[in-house]
Structure 1
Amino acid sequence: MSETLNKLVYANSKYIRLSPNKARRVINQIRGKKYQEALLILEFMPYRPCKIIKKTLQTAVANATNNYHYTKKNLMIKTAFVNAGPKLKRFQPRAQGRAFPIRKPTCHITIEIAKN
C-alpha cells in the first residue's frame, strides 16, 4: 500500500489533429495547477485545443480515482506536455500544372497527475 502514496498517473491522447504550438499555448496555462483550477481554466478559455486537453485531463483523473483510489480534491498536474506527431501531407493544385504542398500537423498530448 505504501508504494502507491505518490504514484504518478498519466493519460495520453495521440494523433490529435491540432498544431502542437497551439496546443502548447493552452497546456502551459494549466501546468502545476490543481485539478479543479485547471478544469475551470480549460472551461473558459476560448481555444479549440481546450476541449481535447480537458478530456485528456479527465481521463488521467479517472485513472487515478479508479486504479489508485485518489480523491479529486488532492490531485494536481505535475507535468503536461505536447509533442509533435506525424504530418498529414496533401497537395493543392496550382496554376500551370504545379502542386503546392499542404502539411496538416498532428500532436500527442500527455498529462501526468499526482497527489498533493
Structure 2
Amino acid sequence: MNGNNSITIAQGKYLRLSTNKVRRILDLIRGKKCQEAILILEFLKYKPCKTIKKVLESAMHNATHNNQEDRTKLVISHAFANEGRKLKRFQPRAQGRAFPIHKPTCHIVIKIMAA
C-alpha cells in the first residue's frame, strides 16, 4: 500500500491521565515525523509522555506490519485525547460526611501516515 497515503490508527483507552495534561503534550508532537516525536517524548519530564510514546510506537508498528510503510517516512497526521469515564471515589471527612473525588480517564488516538 505504499504511495496511496493510507492512515494508520492506534488508540489507548481508559488511561488514568487528565485530558488537559495529555493534550498539552500532543500539541507538541502533532504534524512531526514519528522518529522526531519519539525523541521529544523521551526527553520531556511529564507523566503522560511514557503512555503517549507507547501509543505512538503501537501506531508505527501497525503501519509497518499491516501497511508495509517505511518507518522513517511516517508523520503524525492527527493526535487527540478525548475524555473517558471518571472513576468516582469518596474521601471521608469530619462528622460522617463524605466528599466526592473524581479521577479522570482519557482516550488517546494517534493517526499516522506516510509522507
TM-score (norm 2): 0.97
Unaligned runs of 5+ in 1: none
Cα distance in 1 for residues equivalent to 2:28 and 2:84 = 21
How far residue 69 of structure 1 moved from its aligned partner, in angstroms, is 0.6
Unaligned runs of 5+ in 2: none
Q: Which aligned pairs between 1:9-20 and structure 2 lie closer than 5 A? A: 9-20=8-19
How far residue 6 of structure 1 moved from its aligned partner, in angstroms, is 0.9
How far residue 5 of structure 1 moved from its aligned partner, in angstroms, is 1.7
Pairs aligned (count): 115
Cα distance in 2 for residues equivalent to 1:104 and 1:35 = 31
Cα distance in 1 for residues equivalent to 2:46 and 2:31 = 20
- What's the Cα RMSD here? 1.1
SS of 2:85's equivalent? coil
Residue deviations 1:39-94, cap 9 Å, x none? 11000000000000000000000000001110111100000000000000000000
- After TM superposition, the runs of 4+ consecutive aligned structure 1 residues lying more than 4 A away are none
The residue type paired with residue 85 of structure 2 is: P
The residue type paired with residue 15 of structure 1 is: Y
SS of 1:69's equivalent? coil
Task: Please name the residue that 2:62 is paired with.
Answer: 63
